[in-house]
Structure 1
Amino acid sequence: MSVVPLNPIPLKDRTSMVFLQYGQLDVLDGAFVLIDKTGVRTHVPVGSVACIMLEPGTRVSHAAIRLAATVGTLLVWVGEAGVRLYASGQPGGARADKLLYQAKLALDDALRLKVVRKMYELRFGEPPPARRSVEQLRGIEGARVRQTYLQLAQRFGVKWHGRKYDPKDWEKGDVVNQCISAATSCLYGISEAAVLAAGYAPAIGFIHSGKPLSFVYDIADIIKFDTVVPEAFRIAARHPEQPDREVRLACRDIFRSRKITATLIPMIEEVLSAGEIEPPQPAPDMLPPAIPEAASLAEDGFRSR
């Protein structure tokens, strides 16, 4: 049975994400806490965070998962350095009417093409070539992406041998690929939180398909070259000792300064509206009661390390 968030803080008012490792997440004395091996408790402002990334070494109690679901905070289980997403919770779940709306757009070839063309336009700032199929647009997009990687490498003076990485072996990739993987992992996490918060299904994609996070990849790819990927190249050019940590902190600052969480949901609705069919409207009893804007938190950008 899914837990419906009770009076949650709107996504746009939340800290984007936090990363936790090496501890037990639990609810003690009504507080959401991370307890390390020495018994030290660190308070996590769960209701004011959009997404909590759980790295290896974390355990989660039933009470903690229930509280996260109640306040609408997404829990995502990731690999070492966040390079791979294994699983995620689902705060509130996709709404049936929105899921059917999304599925109708994805299953109708003509409607799907309209949505894909809108994604292309938002990503590249220009309309896509006329009379092209989804597969052809995917190929054009891939070529432009490869060219963008090359241009960024030249801009930041980074040696580039292509996008090569092994999710199962973090150390195998070169520094720039490690930085890109860490950056896109951050972006996918917050994008998944936005998709779920908007009431849609992460798996029903338009450009991507057949993966649990297909729609998340669709949405994140629209903005990744305007946000996190250039920062990954900039950090890689310095040859940092801890590339994943530096990239994550930089992504946190980007998400905060550019208010990414406040722009993702409107962008999702804009993309889907390109299908030109009537979107679902929430019934009055589905709207959450109004709550004050979230106060700024001293814990903004909190990390467990």
Structure 2
Amino acid sequence: MSVPGIPPPVPRELLRIEDRISFVYLERAVVHRDENAITSTDEEGTVHLPAAGLGCLLLGPGTRVSHAAMALLGDCGVSVIWAGERGVRFYAHGSAVAKNNHLLVQQARLVSNNRSRVAVARKMYQMRFPGEDVSKLSMHQLRGREGVRVRRLYAEQARRVGIDWRGRNYKPGEIDASNPVNQALTAANAALYGIVHSVISGLGCSPGLGFVHAGTSRSFVYDIADLYKAETTIPASFDAAASADESLTTSVRRRLRDAVVKTKLLERCTSDIYDLLSSDNRDPEITADRDRDTVTLWSDDGEVPAGRSYGA
């Protein structure tokens, strides 16, 4: 008996997460399916999006999604984020398809031991502070150094574009209560979190098992996103706030998109996650055949094949 409906894409037709379009934000549109493409229809017409090449789809207010569209997005391993007005609030997330759990097991192992957790956190800070020796610093010292550098970065960007800057100020749910730069930072960071979430899910990791951040289901998302803000969301936000050519949130998302392409963010994010979670310079067990989808059974002397009867 054949399964009704359009056959899903086969694995060889899908792009790896590092080769996909980083994100697309939609609002006040109807999202549907046309063969193996996603369509978005609003008052300006209909556009087609290649589902197999999309990393993250951000759905803003006023969007409606058909069952057929969600089925295709799921088959293609696309992360779907339901966001608030201007894309700055995270409501829900549709899980991407990961073929195996090797990287997740490694992530859980590293985060469950204080020594290995600190080691990974230091590697993250080393990525952000190239040329500095952080191998002996405690988490308290690392946080202090980070705070100094981030404040300095904000001040440098403010001088570059000629904007008066008095610090990062954001109240959840009250984006309009802050100044344009803070509004832009909030919108840009939300989009960056969606991009990073899509990579983490696409690789089979847990968004909630963070090494620096803790206490939230997106801890690892915030860990990884912080690696790239200095190159992406921060300069994009100050540029958008200094420009009046279009709406602030639209402007900052366009600038972020350009920064994502310029910095090859998806490729770097994928590589960085592997490097952070590989204990011995990219553990072969993790990196080899990462798309393999094989069910096994755990045993105290290693994994054994599933689908057979033991103890007969």
Q: TM-score, normalised by structure 2?
A: 0.82
Show structure 2 runs of 5+ residues with no match.
1-7, 294-312
The number of aligned residues is 284
Larger radius of gyration: 2
Percent sequence identity is: 36
- Which range moved further: 50-59 or 229-238? 229-238
- Amino acid across the alignment from 2:124: M
The one of 33, 54, 62 equivalent to 2:67 is 62
| Residues 222-260 of structure 1: CA deviation (Å, up to 9, x unaligned) | 111022211211221235551111111111112223321
- Which range moved further: 24-33 or 182-191? 24-33
- Partners of 1:134 and 1:5 in 2: CA distance: 45
**Alpha-carbon deviation of 1:109?**
0.8
Change in 2 beyond 3 A, CA 1:148/1:159: same
State whether structure 2 residue 33 is matched by structure 1 residue 27.
yes
State whether structure 2 residue 154 is matched by structure 1 residue 146.
no
What is the CA RMSD across the aligned residues, in angstroms?
Answer: 2.6
Question: Could you tell me whether the CA contact under 8 Å between 2:17 and 2:55 is conserved in 1?
Answer: yes
**Alpha-carbon deviation of 1:200?**
0.8
- Partners of 2:20 and 2:285 in 1: CA distance: 25
SS of aligned partner of 1:226:
coil
SS of aligned partner of 1:224:
coil
- Partners of 2:17 and 2:281 in 1: CA distance: 26
- Partners of 2:56 and 2:92 in 1: CA distance: 13
- Amino acid across the alignment from 1:126: G
Partner of 2:210: 205
Question: Could you tell me whether the CA contact under 8 Å between 2:99 and 2:292 is conserved in 1?
Answer: no
Question: Could you tell me whether the CA contact under 8 Å between 1:206 and 1:215 is conserved in 2?
Answer: yes
**Alpha-carbon deviation of 1:214?**
1.0
Change in 2 beyond 3 A, CA 1:36/1:156: closer
Change in 2 beyond 3 A, CA 1:92/1:30: closer
Question: Could you tell me whether the CA contact under 8 Å between 2:55 and 2:79 is conserved in 1?
Answer: yes
Partner of 1:297: none
Show structure 1 runs of 5+ residues with no match.
289-305
The one of 9, 15, 18 equivalent to 2:15 is 9
The one of 229, 235, 256 equivalent to 1:230 is 235
- Amino acid across the alignment from 2:154: Y
Within 5 Å, give how 1:1-305 maps onto structure 2.
6-7=10-11, 8-28=14-34, 31-36=37-42, 41-93=46-98, 95-239=100-244, 242-273=247-278, 278=283, 280-281=285-286, 286-287=291-292
- Amino acid across the alignment from 1:231: A
Q: TM-score, normalised by structure 1?
A: 0.84
- Partners of 1:5 and 1:190 in 2: CA distance: 22
Question: Could you tell me whether the CA contact under 8 Å between 2:103 and 2:277 is conserved in 1?
Answer: no
- Amino acid across the alignment from 2:194: G
